[in-house]
Amino acid sequence: NYVNEHNPPAGGELKVVAYDTRYDPSRDIPAYEWLKERGAAFIYSGIPTFGDTVRTRADREHYCVVSSAPTEYQLIPPGYVFGLTPPVSWVMKGFLAWISEEHWDYETQGRKPKIGAVGWDEPYQIDVTNAIEGYVAAHPDEFEFVDGLITPMGNMSWYGEVETLKGCDYIYIPSTGLGTATFAKQYRDAGYTATFLGLDAMSAFLELLVEKAGWDYLDGSLTAHTTLYWNDDFPIVDKAKEFLSLYHSGQEEEIMSGGVGYISIFFCAQFVMDLVRRAIEDVGVDNFDSQAFYDTAVDFTWNQEGLPERGYGFSDTVRWARKDLTVYEWQAEAQDMVRISGWIPADVP
């Protein structure tokens, strides 16, 4: 709505056609076919399986897919799937490098930190757990890997996992919602003190985690994000707040207290819409199709004040738009997440 009302593509109007896959991978191909048949110039998906399922077909048919939750398979070698972020496994490795260089005091502690991971049996958690284990294997002087524990989906009882990881200095805790809250509470109630780690998935459930666990349990947690947050003082964040006021009047505080969910999607949408606008400027609205999107994307960079120097964008060889992360600390005193780092490389295969 905002694009069409305030800054429409030259000579045209943006139309969104939607298909609900219901998180069912068997519906990925039907969704791809249905949307393509209805003239979609490209497909945007936030479902991790979608890009994996359609990648071969998209490359063969030269049809663009934009994935906000890409895997390494979707992005390498470069083809017609464009990721808005690096794979979470890469982001986690960049995060660990920062922890080693900036957060852990080897001289004072006199040893390397112990690290572990725990969470449900789902691709996101498994990718991150494997990344941690792989990073430690490649950098044995930086960390000691304790264990990577995977439990059935929906598990809420963590006694065994808590005891296994009780001696850790850092723990990547369950990625999603109630799993995160229940583990954090049970671990702290047992008297253990590891610093909890997370990525955007954890921060997207900020309000739920505070409600179910409380700030005292989450204090000192570290999360790595590939976008800015509501309390960052930059024009692009102010613009996100304007969107909230325009389309969710009266719900601003509720949405902002919920975490990074809305602002992360806002960054995605702004980037993609500006790319579309550029493509239409390049070829004209009547000639805008998937190939025009591709031709513009591979030479597109998006810079905004506050974003990393490398900006967001793609090239002939790079299929992930965001390339850097920044770290936030969960602070009970501030009752918020507070940024404690600059921008750090997140494209770390």
For residue 254, being part of any structural domain is answered with no
Does one domain contain both 69 and 162? Answer: no
Does one domain contain both 218 and 290? Answer: no
Does one domain contain both 73 and 120? Answer: no
The arrangement of strands across the sheet holding 81-83 comes to 43-45, 65-67, 81-83
Does one domain contain both 46 and 74? Answer: yes
In the numeric block, the tokens 């048949």 are attached to 37
Number of domains present in the structure of the chain: 2
Q: Domain holding 310: CATH number?
A: 3.40.50.2300
Does one domain contain both 155 and 277? Answer: no
Does one domain contain both 276 and 314? Answer: yes
Query: 11: left (phi > 0), else alpha (psi -120 to 50), else beta?
Result: left
For residue 172, being part of any structural domain is answered with yes
Q: Which pLDDT does position 123 carry in this prediction? A: 85
Task: Extract the tokens encoding 33.
Answer: 């076919």
pLDDT tens, position by position, for the chain (349 residues)?
Answer: 777 777 777 777 889 999 999 989 999 999 999 999 999 999 999 888 899 999 999 999 999 999 998 999 999 999 999 999 999 999 999 999 999 999 999 999 999 999 999 999 988 899 999 999 999 999 999 999 999 999 999 999 999 999 999 999 999 999 888 999 999 999 999 999 999 999 999 999 999 999 999 999 999 999 999 999 999 999 999 999 999 999 999 999 999 999 999 999 999 999 999 999 999 999 999 999 999 999 999 999 999 999 999 999 999 999 999 999 999 999 999 999 999 999 999 988 8
For residue 232, being part of any structural domain is answered with no
Contact 47, 71 (CB under 8 A): no
Does one domain contain both 193 and 150? Answer: yes
Does one domain contain both 304 and 340? Answer: no
Does one domain contain both 93 and 197? Answer: yes
In the numeric block, the tokens 């999603």 are attached to 176
Q: Which pLDDT does position 290 carry in this prediction? A: 98
Q: Which residues contact residue 339 at a Cβ distance below 8 angstroms, ignoring those fewer than 6 apart?
A: 229, 231, 232, 326, 327, 328
For residue 312, being part of any structural domain is answered with yes
Contact 56, 79 (CB under 8 A): no
Does one domain contain both 211 and 172? Answer: yes
What b-and-e string marks burial along 161-177, b requiring 16 or more CB atoms within 10 Å of the CB? Answer: bbeebbebbbbbbbbbe
| Containing structural domain, residue 61 | 2-83+261-321
Does one domain contain both 46 and 141? Answer: no
For residue 108, being part of any structural domain is answered with yes
For residue 95, being part of any structural domain is answered with yes
For residue 242, being part of any structural domain is answered with no
Does one domain contain both 212 and 332? Answer: yes
Contact 292, 236 (CB under 8 A): no
Q: Which pLDDT does position 343 carry in this prediction? A: 97
For residue 249, being part of any structural domain is answered with no
Q: Label the pairing between strands 144-151 and 114-120.
A: parallel
